[in-house]
Amino acid sequence: MTERDIIACIKRHEEKKTADLFAGIGDDCAVLRPSDNKVQLITCDSLIESVHFDLSWHPPELLGAKAVSVNVSDIAAMGGQPRFALLALGLSRGCENWLDSFLQGFEERLQDYQVRLIGGDTVNSKGGFMITVTVIGEMDKDKVCYRSGAREGDLVWVSGPLGEAAAGLEICRNAPGLKNSYPSLVSAHLSPEPRLELGGLLARSGLVHAMIDLSDGLATDLAHICGASGVGAEVFQKDIPFTREFTGLARELGLSAFDWALKGGGDYQLLFTTDPENREAVTRLAVGSHRTLYPVGRMVKGSGVILCDGENRQDITFQGYEHR
């Protein structure tokens, strides 16, 4: 396959021009007209073979979908809507066989979120397959949720059970015989779901002080909110939400559920803070969106993240997954 063959293959997956997209793939640049009265959100994430994924167990169509989802999750964490994507691919020998499946999964996930592929690059990579996706989103200026708005006294919330992706990775890597017993955990690793609708709902509600997506684990991502906001955080171990499958697997493998939940990356749940007075309002919002939101801690004076288990206090600041 030459670069032109690959571009032709990608162009087959590309959507049509519209009133706000004058040129997509096939010129030196994509040309688009930004929406009036909106701000743009721009994010970029790389996935590297043997670091972030292993093709011996990652089906290419799910990898394509994941490459979209991890970027859409960053848009969700600010409360925005994704609009456009660019795909840079480093291709090593042998990938021709599954490139079409990868692109199929990539494109279907773009369509799920109504994102259009507008450009990118394809290059040879001697050191394995690499994927870099840039996503451009948009939203109303005064609704953007930054990491930096958390205040002392805020409640800390997560949008769902933690540790599932780390548990799924453990199964894929070290216990493949258990895949059929824990499909939801395996799926959480192979094809995570960005909480896009919820992120938008939370941002529009005006209740959220700070928000981030859980890509590197609670211990690290909450530390990012602390650092950006100039406050500390306490997490209450007893309040951390787990699924039954998750605790079942931890027991079966004799591994620590709390380690996965606090330090495992890749869940892509949303982590956010609100005024404690708005606890009821947040809960009602969750019910309206058929979600459960879980308060797991509070923001405090100081810095860093403390895990509280009864009287025991442990500093877990930045002890999450080193996402490289």
- With CB under 8 A as the contact rule, the residue among 10, 67, 99, 118 that binds a copy of itself is 118
75/249 with CB nearer a copy of itself = 75
Stretch that binds a copy of itself, among 11-19, 27-35, 58-66, 307-315 (CB under 8 A): 27-35
* CA proximity to 73, closest of 190, 200, 189: 200
Q: How far is the CB of 128 from a copy of itself (least distance, A)?
A: 5
Is there binding between residue 55 and a copy of itself (CB under 8 A)?
Answer: no
Is there binding between residue 34 and a copy of itself (CB under 8 A)?
Answer: yes
- With CB under 8 A as the contact rule, the residue among 9, 15, 23, 289 that binds a copy of itself is 23
Q: How far is the CB of 17 from a copy of itself (least distance, A)?
A: 12
Q: How far is the CB of 278 from a copy of itself (least distance, A)?
A: 22
Q: 198, 218 in Cβ contact below 8 A?
A: no
Please tell me whether residue 12 adopts helix, strand or coil conformation.
helix
Long-range pairs of 102-106 with CB within 8 A, sequence gap ≥ 24: 102/60, 102/61, 102/63, 102/64, 103/9, 103/10, 103/13, 103/64, 104/13, 104/61, 104/64, 105/59, 105/60, 105/61, 105/62, 105/63, 105/64, 105/65, 106/13, 106/64, 106/65, 106/67, 106/68
Is there binding between residue 267 and a copy of itself (CB under 8 A)?
Answer: no
- With CB under 8 A as the contact rule, the residue among 12, 22, 152, 314 that binds a copy of itself is 22
Question: Between residue 122 and residue 141, which ones bind a copy of itself under the rule CB under 8 A?
Answer: 122-128, 130, 132, 134, 136-137, 141
Q: How far is the CB of 321 from a copy of itself (least distance, A)?
A: 10
Is there binding between residue 40 and a copy of itself (CB under 8 A)?
Answer: yes
69/243 with CB nearer a copy of itself = 69
Is there binding between residue 209 and a copy of itself (CB under 8 A)?
Answer: no
Please give the distance of CA 17 from its chain centroid, rounded to a whole number.
Answer: 28
Is there binding between residue 228 and a copy of itself (CB under 8 A)?
Answer: yes
Q: 226, 239 in Cβ contact below 8 A?
A: no
Is there binding between residue 80 and a copy of itself (CB under 8 A)?
Answer: yes
Other Cβ atoms closer than 10 A to 246: 24
What's the rounded Cα separation, in Å, for the pair 196 and 254?
34
Is there binding between residue 181 and a copy of itself (CB under 8 A)?
Answer: no
Q: What torsion, rounded to 10 degrees, do the Cα atoms 47, 49, 54, 60 define? A: 70
Q: 155, 279 in Cβ contact below 8 A?
A: yes
83/109 with CB nearer a copy of itself = 83
Is there binding between residue 117 and a copy of itself (CB under 8 A)?
Answer: no
132/191 with CB nearer a copy of itself = 132
Q: Give the chain's end-to-end CA distance (angstroms, integer).
A: 30
Is there binding between residue 36 and a copy of itself (CB under 8 A)?
Answer: yes
Q: Specify burial of residue 23 (Cβ count, 10 A radius: 0-12, 13-18, 19+).
A: middle
The DSSP call for residue 191 is S
Q: Which residue has the tokens 């670069």?
A: 3
201/250 with CB nearer a copy of itself = 201
Q: Cβ contacts of residue 284 below 8 Å, gap of 6+?
A: none
Is there binding between residue 273 and a copy of itself (CB under 8 A)?
Answer: no
Is there binding between residue 51 and a copy of itself (CB under 8 A)?
Answer: yes
- Total count of residues recorded for the chain: 324
Task: Note the residues at the interface with a copy of itself (CB under 8 A).
Answer: 2-4, 22-23, 26-34, 36, 39-52, 74-75, 77-78, 80, 84, 86, 88, 90-92, 118-128, 130, 132, 134, 136-137, 141, 144, 146-148, 212-213, 228, 318, 322-324
